[in-house]
Amino acid sequence: MINIDFQDRSPIYLQLIKKIEEMAAKGFLAPNEQLPTVRSLAMELAINPNTIQRAYGELEKKGVIYTVPGKGCFVSPATNTLLNRKKQELLAEVTLKIKEACAIGISQEEFLEECRKAYKLCAKEEKK
Amino acid sequence: MINIDFQDRSPIYLQLIKKIEEMAAKGFLAPNEQLPTVRSLAMELAINPNTIQRAYGELEKKGVIYTVPGKGCFVSPATNTLLNRKKQELLAEVTLKIKEACAIGISQEEFLEECRKAYKLCAKEEKK
Amino acid sequence: MINIDFQDRSPIYLQLIKKIEEMAAKGFLAPNEQLPTVRSLAMELAINPNTIQRAYGELEKKGVIYTVPGKGCFVSPATNTLLNRKKQELLAEVTLKIKEACAIGISQEEFLEECRKAYKLCAKEEKK
Amino acid sequence: MINIDFQDRSPIYLQLIKKIEEMAAKGFLAPNEQLPTVRSLAMELAINPNTIQRAYGELEKKGVIYTVPGKGCFVSPATNTLLNRKKQELLAEVTLKIKEACAIGISQEEFLEECRKAYKLCAKEEKK
DNA sequence: GTGGTCTAGACCACC
DNA sequence: GTGGTCTAGACCACG
């Protein structure tokens, strides 16, 4: 399920957050489903429990999961909200990129064309 | 010309690199034009000279500028190459974002529509 | 009667204590009335019996209930004392909050006004 | 300035957050003033730097401070917003307490009277 | 067993 | 020097 890219320069806990957010937003994680325990996931990924803990902690503050101390962590039921928030975050990031594209003079047509190509690639990959 | 956002989490030297690359790619900096000296730019931006030095160093490694010891730093003449490379970098980043968009189920139509909106915004801002 | 909020961060045994104290102080539980047995309450609330046991234990230490080994747990007769102690605890907590309010510069008038609003809300809810 | 109550059961990092928020909200910390460095504060309070770091991190996410990596942490300029948010948090907590007060039958008059007393106490203490 | 907090000590990137 | 991340290992409260 969850795999960490140790080559990636972005912190492990952020990678974790992103992965779990995506899975929750896309519905791979059922509402109220229990997540792996801190310790078990730490073992599985060969990571320090503190790092998992941090990711879970921040996910809770974001409202993606809720945690019952002594029991475990569970997926928050508000899936729709999650999906929407995630969408907006992503589109905001793309808007930033588009600003840069404008700045170096990439035309809208060229840009959109590239997006279409990228989308085709994704479609292919998903079929696998 | 160049302004640094100290609130921005991205390191200053990267902000510098990005700005100078953009200016070079877009033609604001003529080929072989001399850049400000490390010390003068450091004074102007109220930044540690080491930081400027690092930015210039990496820009030279990337081939964006060349330095003549004892003289200063100059914009590399290969503008076209620069522009193309910059474009490709940017589009690669956008492709990554599109993968994420696919992952959480944003349709191509919705995505492209947002891109168009963003482009309009950029166009307006540039007029100012 | 008693319901547990599993989402609440405060430990279940404390929630139990609070609820039972309130009911006793307010007279919903008659003096010398028998409380549900540990096992039955555990079943009813789907909670670990140890948790009930702990709550009952601490309630006994506080003098809110007394236990007759082999018989069960019973509400302590000293209702007035309970009510007064509970009041004082609560007012002490509010005093702490008021200290904070002073610290950040909330005026007495503003604070009291908010209290009145809150009281009105409570009155409405109780009518239901 | 900042003192930690090790007897207090609430986590150290939360005590830190509360203290700094109060000081910022009340204006004891000027906007853009630099906070003590992680290490220095850790030394001063005889606390592990990680704990300070955590507090600072959460304060940044809350928008109370901003941090310039390699430089230090600084008080966020949006003081008014902070004060208002802090007020609302506090009043919400008091509202909870009032609900309890209602539940055990404390009348509004009695409650408000106690509040006035507490306010007088605070006023006296502040004069010191 | 669970999550939550803390310490000690290390390494990194940045300035 | 600064903040940011991570590990290792410990302790606690809770269930």
What are the beta bridge partners of residue A67?
Answer: A73
Distance from residue B55's CA to nucleotide E13's C1', rounded to whole Å: 14
pLDDT (tens digit per residue) in D19-71: 999 888 888 899 999 999 999 999 999 999 999 999 999 999 999 999 998 88
Please spell the DSSP secondary structure of B35-81, one letter per residue: PPPHHHHHHHHT--HHHHHHHHHHHHHHTSEEEETTTEEEE-S-HHH
CA distance A91 to A85: 10
Q: List the chains bordering chain A where 3 or more Cβ pairs fall under 8 Å.
A: B, C
User: Is-contact C33 C75, C-beta < 8 A?
Assistant: yes
pLDDT (tens digit per residue) in A78-125: 877 888 888 998 999 999 899 888 888 888 999 999 999 999 988 887
User: Is-contact C79 C27, C-beta < 8 A?
Assistant: yes
Please give the share of chain B, as a percent, with pLDDT higher than 90. Answer: 51
DSSP state of C106: -
Q: Does strand F come within 7 Å of the CB of D50? A: yes
Q: What is the pLDDT averaged over residues B93-118?
A: 90
CA distance B47 to D75: 21
Mean pLDDT of chain B: 89
Interface of chain D toward chain B, CB-CB under 8 angstroms = 66, 68-69, 71
- Note the pLDDT of residue A128: 67
Banded model confidence at residue A67, pLDDT cuts 50, 70, 90: very high
User: Is-contact A104 B83, C-beta < 8 A?
Assistant: yes
What are the beta bridge partners of residue D72?
Answer: D68
CA distance B26 to B34: 16
Q: Identify all chain A residues contacting B29, using CB atoms and an 8 Å cutoff.
A: none
Please tell me the pTM assigned to this model. Answer: 0.87
pLDDT (tens digit per residue) in C75-122: 998 777 878 888 888 999 999 899 889 888 889 999 999 999 999 998
Contact D87 C104 (CB under 8 A): yes
- Burial zone of D10 (CB within 10 Å; 0-12 exposed, 13-18 middle, 19+ buried): exposed
Q: Identify all chain D residues contacting B7, using CB atoms and an 8 Å cutoff.
A: 66, 68
Q: How many residues make up chain B in this entry? A: 128
Interface mutation target, options D65, D68, D73, chain B, most CBs of B under 10 Å: D68
Using the structure block, give the residue that is written with the tokens 């010398």.
C32
Chain F bases closer than 7 A to any CB of the protein = 1-10, 13-15
Cα A10-A12-A13 angle, rounded to 5 deg? 110
Contact A69 C7 (CB under 8 A): no
- Note the pLDDT of residue B128: 66
